[in-house]
Structure 1
Amino acid sequence: MMKHLKAEIVAVGTELLLGQIANTNAQWLSQQLALYGINVYNHTVVGDNPGRVEEAFQMAQKRSDIIIVTGGLGPTEDDLTREAFQAISGMEMIEDKTAMGKIELFFQNHQVEMTPNNRRQARVFKGSTVLKNNAGMAPGMKVTLAEKTWFFLPGVPREMKQITKDEIIPYLQVMIGNEQIIKSLVLKFIGIGESSLEHELKDLIQAQSNPTIAPLAQDDGVVIRLTAKGKSEKSIKQLLNNTKIQILERVGEFYFGEDDQVIEEVIVELLKKQKKKLAAAESLTGGMFTEKVVSVNGASEVCPGGIICYDTAIKRDILGVSEQIIQNKGTVSEECALEMAEKVRKLFGSDIGIGFTGVAGPTQTEGNPVGKVFISISDIHGYQKVEEYLFTGTRNSIRKRACLKGLEIIYNYLKS
């Protein structure tokens, strides 16, 4: 079994350097490699320049055991990955008949004339292992150069992921041997920051060995990734579960789910179980909260609708917020938020209403500073609550933080 394998991901494409697209391929590939205990030591991004691509490849060959290259395998003149690798390896390129047949069939089926440059996509290195592309035209390749393993993949994320799952992962499993299984469990939290979570678990994190404990901040809260190694699924499951119990004993009040679960899914599930319906009146969030809820399958059972009441006249004439509150307290106030939650609940015949009002910016409103937000809740039994916040950041980040805080408030209400 090979140990301490060093991996590197090289992304080829000027559009990545210009920031026109994000390098999500490297992020995803690193996550996959980590599951098999393979450490990624370098992410390299290089533009469509033959000399610089060649230089990046030479560096990767010197320092890494596994090099995964994404991009630069297309039909155009700026697709230079093959040529750059040929320059450092001296390997001959040939046309793969199977890949070429697939490309020709694609154009025939779409009744489009194939331009000659599309033949470039079928070129592979002689002696390489051709990796079948079940999601597109250009095949991938596996090449060994001076005991270093190279994988070449298309830059299109859908195609890259498909080839990795179908072809590369089975190879990695053989490469690392079957003596060790590695699994991860992601625990998700809301209402606690990354630094606070880390502080609460400081001694556990410092003493970590197996599983490892890694707190990470994400857009929809904070996660802890537990990664365990073992010789059987059963032993790994026990390791992960024991550590999960220890963590939840300390910060369980903020825990809402794990792995791919998102907070809105948990909220919809709780609403269904409790046979309750939820409606939202949104000013600064502009429908963002309702969109999150209705993105979940089956949300129609628990969310009859909502109202975007950005303008004061809509708050007054459509939602029914009283003129007295608007004049005396203002639209950015505790009183207005409470009335918004109550009115929307009654308007849609729901059990729970939630109201969002505040100042997203760029300027003050009614003397209130940018970032001041009120979020309120009203239920059919007369329960009312309003929270006041002062968020910082850009206009849209304030709106997103308000939306997330609203999800947190509803989750805690349903949980209690």
Structure 2
Amino acid sequence: MKAEIIAVGTELLLGQIVNTNAQFLSQKLAELGVDVYFQTVVGDNAQRLRQAIEIGRSRSDLLVFTGGLGPTQDDLTKDVLADFLNCELIIHEPSMSKIEQLFHSRGIHMVESNRRQALIIEGGEPLENTTGLAVGNGLFAGGTLYLLLPGPPKEMKPMMEGAGGEWLRSKLGERQPLYSRILKFAGIGESNLEAKLLDLIDGQVDPTIAPYAKEGEVAIRVSTKANSASEADHKIDAAVEKIKERVGEFLYAQNDIPLEAEVVHLLRASRRKLASAESCSGGLLAELITNVPGSSGEYLGGVVTYTNMMKHRLLSVPMTQLEGEGSPGAVSDSTAALMAERVRELADADFGVSLTGVAGPAESEGKPVGLVYFAIAERGKAADVHTLHLSGDRSIIRLRAVKATLYRLWQRLKD
């Protein structure tokens, strides 16, 4: 079955809110064994909404609407779809009673427009809204299924998980749900990863293998349809083993977690502590680490020594190291090593990591934008320093540098 999600609301087109409903609905439909082929966003305009319905019906078996069920004149979804199907809109009396009772209990006068939230398309099934007032609607007409859900996520999600999902299951019958596993990689780019797996991707039948990238990390989604989770695991496991044979050294997780979460997990498992000293990254490494719930048990803290004076005062890096004719400078491998070693000693941590470099927009100390040094100092060992030559704007360079640092730390902890 091919499905299309139609999100209704001019605020979505203007970028005033993000269409998180489509992501949620795609996941839920996959669990029901329904393939989402298209996602459409249309404004609060009757003519354009009708066009979207016409196009959707021509190419999909199921149209799922979110938004446009409210009380105002620009809430058009039910009106336009009813007109398109040559059906009447009727009042669903239980929903109308719920609305009237709510206004009465609050001592507020109910304006006539609120009656619109109790309208359903004749011949369809009302879907209870447990967290709001606008009733949903499910109907089958002309060979197409139509599911109408509210726009606010706090109303849409419970309806889809409740009455909407139940109605859909009753129409779909027994179907194989889609199961997926996310493999997360670091230390390798999307194109290189794909090149190493190209024959597996090109020859895929079941399970399917699909790469996608985020900054500093790459993921592969392995998906299959199966009658049970155990059957799906059996098929996915076989595909994952083939992938691991090619690129297992870069695989840090078999679920959708960021690299920093796995680093914290490994620190916790080995009962070791981390401290950080950052310059060009401006505290981004500390931010990512502390975004991981419970990381306070493994991350002792960090310093942002953005200027040479702060590197000297807080980390005791000699000024002769940082400035003066013939000095290595702040952007150097030896400074990175000193920063990592000093912050480790300062915090009495098992690991100290540091970053120093040129994030841009202009060169510094005569050194180019994108040159970054990072170091990992482990208790009882000399600091290990790495050099990066990165491209991109300031934010991209900072993020890539931090992710590279986390990758090397992950390797150290894993080994």
> What TM-score comes out, normalization by structure 2 length?
0.91
Quote the sequence identity (%).
42
* Residues 49-198 of structure 1 mapped to structure 2, 5 A cutoff: 49-103=45-99, 116-178=112-174, 180-198=176-194
Q: Secondary structure at the match of 1:270?
A: helix
- Quote the offset at 1:172 in angstroms: 4.3
Distance in 2 between residues matched to 1:369 and 1:113, nearest whole Å = 67
* Distance change (3 Å), C-alpha of 1:415 and 1:146: same
Distance in 2 between residues matched to 1:360 and 1:101, nearest whole Å = 61
- Quote the offset at 1:271 in angstroms: 0.7
Q: How many residues align?
A: 412
Q: Which residue of 2 aligns with 1:330?
A: 329
Q: Secondary structure at the match of 1:331?
A: coil
Q: Secondary structure at the match of 2:90?
A: strand
Q: Which residue of 1 aligns with 2:341?
A: 342
* Distance change (3 Å), C-alpha of 1:137 and 1:91: same
- Quote the offset at 1:178 in angstroms: 2.9
| Maintained 8 Å contact 1:181/1:233 | no
Q: Which residue of 2 aligns with 1:283?
A: 279
| Maintained 8 Å contact 2:216/2:404 | no
- Quote the offset at 1:147 in angstroms: 1.9
Q: Secondary structure at the match of 2:130?
A: coil
| Maintained 8 Å contact 2:56/2:63 | yes
Q: Secondary structure at the match of 1:163?
A: helix
Q: For residues 293-334 of structure 1, what are the alpha-carbon distances to aligned partners after superposition, in whole Å with 9 as ceiling and x for unaligned?
A: 222232111111111222332222223222111112222222
* Distance change (3 Å), C-alpha of 1:370 and 1:108: farther
> What TM-score comes out, normalization by structure 1 length?
0.90
| Maintained 8 Å contact 2:308/2:319 | no
Q: Secondary structure at the match of 1:304?
A: strand
Q: Secondary structure at the match of 1:91?
A: coil
* Distance change (3 Å), C-alpha of 1:232 and 1:301: closer
| Maintained 8 Å contact 2:184/2:256 | no
Q: For residues 39-70 of structure 1, what are the alpha-carbon distances to aligned partners after superposition, in whole Å with 9 as ceiling and x for unaligned?
A: 32322221121211122112222322100112
Distance in 1 between residues matched to 2:384 and 2:87, nearest whole Å = 70
Q: Which deviates the most, 178-187 or 108-117?
A: 108-117
Distance in 2 between residues matched to 1:393 and 1:309, nearest whole Å = 23
- The letter for the 1-side match of 2:362 is T
Q: For residues 347-376 of structure 1, what are the alpha-carbon distances to aligned partners after superposition, in whole Å with 9 as ceiling and x for unaligned?
A: 222110111122222222222222222211
- The letter for the 2-side match of 1:148 is T
* Distance change (3 Å), C-alpha of 1:191 and 1:106: farther
Distance in 2 between residues matched to 1:321 and 1:195, nearest whole Å = 40
Distance in 1 between residues matched to 2:70 and 2:259, nearest whole Å = 39
Q: Which residue of 2 aligns with 1:271?
A: 267
- The letter for the 2-side match of 1:298 is G
Distance in 1 between residues matched to 2:35 and 2:166, nearest whole Å = 17
Distance in 2 between residues matched to 1:220 and 1:340, nearest whole Å = 23
- Is 1:224 aligned to 2:223, yes or no? no
| Maintained 8 Å contact 2:333/2:373 | yes
Return the match for 2:238 from 235, 242, 245: 242
* Distance change (3 Å), C-alpha of 1:282 and 1:176: same
| Maintained 8 Å contact 1:35/1:184 | no
Distance in 2 between residues matched to 1:131 and 1:386, nearest whole Å = 61
Q: Secondary structure at the match of 2:134?
A: coil
| Maintained 8 Å contact 1:143/1:151 | yes
* Root-mean-square deviation (Å): 2.4
* Distance change (3 Å), C-alpha of 1:246 and 1:116: same
- Quote the offset at 1:377 in angstroms: 0.9
Q: For residues 154-174 of structure 1, what are the alpha-carbon distances to aligned partners after superposition, in whole Å with 9 as ceiling and x for unaligned?
A: 222343333222234444444
Q: For residues 123-153 of structure 1, what are the alpha-carbon distances to aligned partners after superposition, in whole Å with 9 as ceiling and x for unaligned?
A: 2223322223334433322122212111112
Q: Which deviates the most, 57-66 or 158-167?
A: 158-167
Distance in 2 between residues matched to 1:331 and 1:109, nearest whole Å = 68
Distance in 2 between residues matched to 1:193 and 1:269, nearest whole Å = 24
Q: Give the unaligned 5+ runs of structure 2.
A: none
Q: Which deviates the most, 184-193 or 155-164?
A: 155-164
Distance in 2 between residues matched to 1:210 and 1:33, nearest whole Å = 19
Q: Which deviates the most, 290-299 or 117-126?
A: 117-126
Q: Secondary structure at the match of 1:69?
A: strand
Return the match for 1:211 from 201, 207, 211: 207
Distance in 2 between residues matched to 1:138 and 1:121, nearest whole Å = 4
Q: Give the unaligned 5+ runs of structure 1.
A: none
